[in-house]
Chains A and B, each alone.
Chain A
């Protein structure tokens, strides 16, 4: 039984070599299968029994294609908004792009550095202070300590958290947490920024600042991919829209059109 394994996945973090017009991200026939087992954990006892009784491997209850046949090319400077109902595979796609999930089949090619904002505070250590977390997070995103130290000021400037710099992160509020994560991910100026529903949790002033910052990133022709249910924000920030449904991309076009189609569709579904 084929299990998930990365096939022909190539990654490179050297963005300078990207020729003009070449896509930064290229997904070819990407599929991703999740297998859930009866008792979730395939235990040693089961394995031994299977071996003795010559049963073949763990009996999967359900196979679930989280993504199927995704073909996608993202060029430099594109800002993409992904819409779709819950469970359509939007977040899974972002996880795939940020290399957390390997594809079951197909090939991915990503050129350039990636900063994922998929879940808030990924890679933060609550025991450490804000300052130390900035350095740690930078290291995880591939920025050296010296380089990151230059950016610390900018991050505290943007978040307004300077007075809490030496406070362990476990005492931060969730809003402060989010602000810090966002500021780090954007301050390092990644080639590709992936955002999942994270603009919702700040106060109004911060959301405006965040939007301005994303637009700023775009001016330097970085790729931004946003997954959100906030249609106004998507219209404001993105230019290209993807509509995902049951693990497939069913529409790809200008954001306004995609959002309109999506809204009419889901509205008609809701009223039907």
Chain B
């Protein structure tokens, strides 16, 4: 040991080791790593998506039609109930219902399936290394595929009922993309939570049900009292559903605010979901 006199150099020894100074840099490298991993494992994702789609519809006579049948029956029932019982005299009500319900179905199915995707893939995760991000992503892509297909098919079916083709439909892909980003974020959060706390999966189902009624999907926004309407903007899924309703039902271009709101919510959701998932990714295998 040497003792130093005079102006001493400040003693710089950290214990424990200091964290890398810039959080942003660490996350940048994590994202870059994930990008290369996902490109490497992209064929696995493709394969899992196509296999699961095939297995779902294999051996059932109606196949993909089942995916359509559910919303069709739902829409028929709802239209009847609302027009007969509540006296909604809107011929386009079926179209309105369709515009909100199909995107909502995508969101709710993806989130519910994501909740259990890590647990269900236990066999794979404990036997072979795969980036865990694959599992929620696969669930999203499966649902996204059925969503887009059923959207197209149902739209064609609804043309006789008054669904109109307009230029605003060109914006539909953007709306779908934003909704998919939002859903992926939610899926990541739920997948992480449910692996640690198994109760979450059940809570999610209840929560989604409540959320469905809190969102103007069955009822029309304009039927609510004026002073209540603004509250709907507190509902994070509202801008997304609104986008679809304006594009499909109103047949006009949505205003920029709705777009920006949706994009903002989508990015926040993905950011939070991704961070939560990455922070716990390594521990997932010990909790299976």
Contacts and interface: CB of A to CB of B under 8 A. Distances in A.
Contacts of A102: 282, 285
Interface string B164-189: 00000000000000000000000000
Contacts of B197: 41-44, 47
Q: Size range of the interface on B? A: 20 to 34
A253 interface: no
Contacts of A122: 124, 127-128
Q: Size range of the interface on A? A: 35 or more
B118 to A, nearest CB: 14
Contacts of B43: 139, 144-145
A4 interface: yes
Interface in B122-161: 124-130
Main DSSP-derived SS at the B contact region = helix
Contacts of B196: 42
Contact of B199 (A45, A98, A145): A45
Contacts of B125: 100
Given A44-B197, A125-B51, A35 B127 contact: no
A142 B36 CA distance: 12
Interface string B186-204: 0000000000111110010
A99 B129 contact: yes
Interface in A113-160: 114, 116, 118-119, 122-123, 125, 127-128, 132, 135-136, 139-140, 142, 144-145
Given A43-B198, A127-B51, A140 B283 contact: no
Contacts of A127: 51, 55
Nearest to A115: B128
Contacts of B127: 100, 116, 118-119, 122-123
5 contacts: A5-B282, A43-B197, A44-B199, A100-B285, A144-B43
Interface of B: 40-41, 43-44, 47, 51, 55, 124-130, 196-200, 203, 282-283, 285-286
Given A45-B199, A101-B285, A128-B51, 7 more contacts: A102-B285, A116-B127, A116-B129, A119-B126, A122-B124, A123-B128, A132-B51
Interface of A: 3-6, 13, 34-35, 41-45, 47, 98-102, 114, 116, 118-119, 122-123, 125, 127-128, 132, 135-136, 139-140, 142, 144-145
